[in-house]
Structure 1
Amino acid sequence: MSTNSSMDNAFLAMQTVLSIAPIPGVAACAVALQEIYKLVKNVALRQQECQALMVYASAVMKTIFDHHMMNPDAGLQSAITKVEIEVADMRNDIKKWRAYGKGMGYLKNQEIQECIRAHRVALDTALNMVGLAHALEQTQWNQKFMDAQAHDAELLQNIGTRQEEMIEMMQQLQQLLIKQEPQTQQDVNMTAPNREVAMKQLFRLRSTRQDSAVLPFRELRDEIQKSGQRAMHAGSTYDIWKGIWLDEHVVALKVFRGTNPSERDATRLNRQIDLWRTLHHPNILQLLGICRLDGGNNAPLYFVSPWMPNRDVMAYLEKHPEADRLKLLHDVVKGLLYLHSVSILHGGLQGSNVLVDKEGNAVLSDFSLSKLMDPNVLFTHSNGPQSSLRWMAPEAHNQQAMSSKTDVYSWGMTALQIISGLVPFYKIKAVGKVVIAIAIRNVKPERNDYIQASPLLQDDRIWNLLSSCWASDPEKRPTVEEIFVEVASLRGVPVEL
């Protein structure tokens, strides 16, 4: 694809000025933009939009630089630094998109477009920080981005009519799918069983109408059918429906009520969804993708995951009271170990979000809003709904820094629930009083309130393990690794971390 010569010339002219600027951050930004200039030429899809973004970033930096030179005391350095950081992020994204090729780029099309929008918003923010939004003619820039988008959309729409290009895309995707071990982040996103599904999706896209939307792999639009007229389960904040994926796979469709995220929140949510999709562990609920079934872009968002016929662990134990409860608790610990190994805190563990698969294994769910570890907080987390307050650690109630030990506390409460069949502090009916008991009075469950519910709680080792998890001081709680070893000992099975 050839680049637009007028935009090319404008970019090179601005680069000449920026590359010799004596201001911290400006010259470094020029170097990064020069690298982007070379990378863009080899981006397979959305190339014109990438180029428009590159030129816009250069224009934003030059505008801020010019005003700084005219008024050095105007305090524009913070905006310069923000643009420098944003351009570095742009370079990393465009480098990734160049590596995609047409096959992966076709599947990641919408994701790339969303990221381009997010970068432009960030650049606009830099201008607004120092009151320079008026300095660039936004109407003209909007038109440039619209023209670039229309050009790229037309090319994308015509791919299906060119057999050679489609075959090339198929070959690129096949090369990704046959790799035995993931070598890059894009390979991680293609691990089994997503590999098989991505292949099916590409074959289906090849045979669709020419006006069909091309979607990133995370969105399973037109692939999902909802079953029945009623949700299979209705929670306090969400519904779970049964669905059919690709006309053969039974899946669960979880939709949260009353959620319509802003564009900024949606971008953040998409990144979290992509994070969840990379998680692969026997004791972690797999996210197959997302979809919207009830209308356009403002329709509710459904999270698609494998169907769990046994539902949550408490429903499972009602039907199978003879089930090995220590084994289920061991499964939960395994899931937590995996999450913590990739710097994710569950943040809302309780019996209702421990599911049981058809083989009777416990699987952790409901961490869809978890994020990567933040350097300023031990672990990032998602605040659980009101229904999870009985399981939450004192530091979670008090809005203090949370860590893996916060999940340890919740594991202890969940273990008590799974063993006894009773929720924590079941004698206290008002949730507000439960919060006061945990957060202010440091109240712990009393053994006498639960010991009659299960003979397991007559074992001092089990009760002492649970009690240690409820220590008010997180540092005095055991680690997840220590819990794993102790539960293995209680079960009489080998310790294999």
Structure 2
Amino acid sequence: MHDLQTLLREAIHLRLMPHPHIVPCMGIVMSETMLRIISPWMENGDIVTYTKKHPSVSKKDLLEQVADGLHFLQQYKLVHGDLKGSNVLINDHGKACIADLGLSNLTSLSGMSNLSSAGTYRYMSPERIVPEKFGMDTPRATFSSDVFSFGMLVYEVYAGHPPFHGIRFEASAIPRIANGERPMRPRYIEDEVWSLATRCWNESPKERPHIFEVYNTLAVLP
């Protein structure tokens, strides 16, 4: 019941409060084992695929749009929980839109959880991996953990592959992040953007910038 209420609340938010950088909600599908938000088909695919096909597009501008969408979600107290390249789609106008809002925090009605319901380890903040180290009771997603994932997204967009791409198994990223390891700087990335990414994935949630600061930082860059 809690999962259903959560999904319905988020679907209503998407319907009543549309945003240019959030994939719109067209409805929901419910079955005995599944809850899904219906969204428009995005012909351009995800942000990494799009930037590879269109190398001249501004990666900085697309990430600025993602930050704008995240700020919108935070204003309505909505945590994404599974921000990554495959969950940022490009619409017909070439604009970045955040997808899969809320699905990361849901489990199926049968009570079985999966990777999506937990988030994706490669992008997950250390306090979600080892919550007891940070005085947390559960590995719940927060606004600060979304900012951490945004930093990993920055890396993914500029590097063209996920964080820790050399690791075959998703769970193998857990000890690396928990021990403070972060991805190496991609070859082509602006100094200011890289500096922002490293601030976003600070180990301490309190030391990470607010998403509005992230947006403003990107917005003033050429």
3-state SS of 1:444 partner: coil
TM-score normalised by the chain length of structure 1: 0.39
Which of 137, 144, 160 does residue 421 from structure 1 map onto?
160
Report the counterpart of residue 199 of structure 2 in structure 1. Answer: 468
- Please give the alpha-carbon distance, in whole angstroms, between the structure 1 residues aligned to 2:5 and 2:76: 21
Structure 1 stretches lacking a partner, 5+ long: 1-262, 372-381, 492-497
Report if aligned partners of 1:347, 1:383 keep a CA contact under 8 Å in 2: no
Deviation at 1:337, TM superposition (A): 0.7
Which of 132, 143, 148 does residue 409 from structure 1 map onto?
148
Structure 2 stretches lacking a partner, 5+ long: 106-113
Q: Percent identity?
A: 32
TM-score normalised by the chain length of structure 2: 0.82
Taking a change above 3 Å as real, the CA distance of residues 322 and 443 of structure 1, as seen in their structure-2 partners, is: same
Say which one has the larger Rg. 1
Report the counterpart of residue 155 of structure 1 in structure 2. Answer: none
1:53-452 pair list within 5 angstroms: 265-291=3-29, 298=32, 302-369=36-103, 384-385=116-117, 388-399=120-131, 400=136, 402-439=141-178, 441-447=179-185, 450-451=186-187
Report if aligned partners of 1:408, 1:478 keep a CA contact under 8 Å in 2: yes
Alpha-carbon deviations, 1:114-166, whole Å to 9, x = none?
xxxxxxxxxxxxxxxxxxxxxxxxxxxxxxxxxxxxxxxxxxxxxxxxxxxxx
Taking a change above 3 Å as real, the CA distance of residues 396 and 355 of structure 1, as seen in their structure-2 partners, is: same
Report if aligned partners of 2:46, 2:85 keep a CA contact under 8 Å in 1: yes
- Letter of the structure 1 residue corresponding to residue 155 of structure 2: L
- Please give the alpha-carbon distance, in whole angstroms, between the structure 2 residues aligned to 1:397 and 1:423: 18
Report the counterpart of residue 122 of structure 1 in structure 2. Answer: none
- Please give the alpha-carbon distance, in whole angstroms, between the structure 2 residues aligned to 1:265 and 1:334: 27
Report the structure, 1 or 2, having the larger helix content.
1
- Letter of the structure 1 residue corresponding to residue 45 of structure 2: R
3-state SS of 2:120 partner: helix
- Please give the alpha-carbon distance, in whole angstroms, between the structure 2 residues aligned to 1:264 and 1:471: 32
- Please give the alpha-carbon distance, in whole angstroms, between the structure 1 residues aligned to 2:193 and 2:103: 32
Compare relative contact order (CA 8 Å, sep 6+) and give the higher one, 1 or 2.
Answer: 2
- Please give the alpha-carbon distance, in whole angstroms, between the structure 2 residues aligned to 1:412 and 1:268: 26
Report if aligned partners of 1:347, 1:384 keep a CA contact under 8 Å in 2: no
Taking a change above 3 Å as real, the CA distance of residues 482 and 387 of structure 1, as seen in their structure-2 partners, is: closer
Deviation at 1:468, TM superposition (A): 1.0
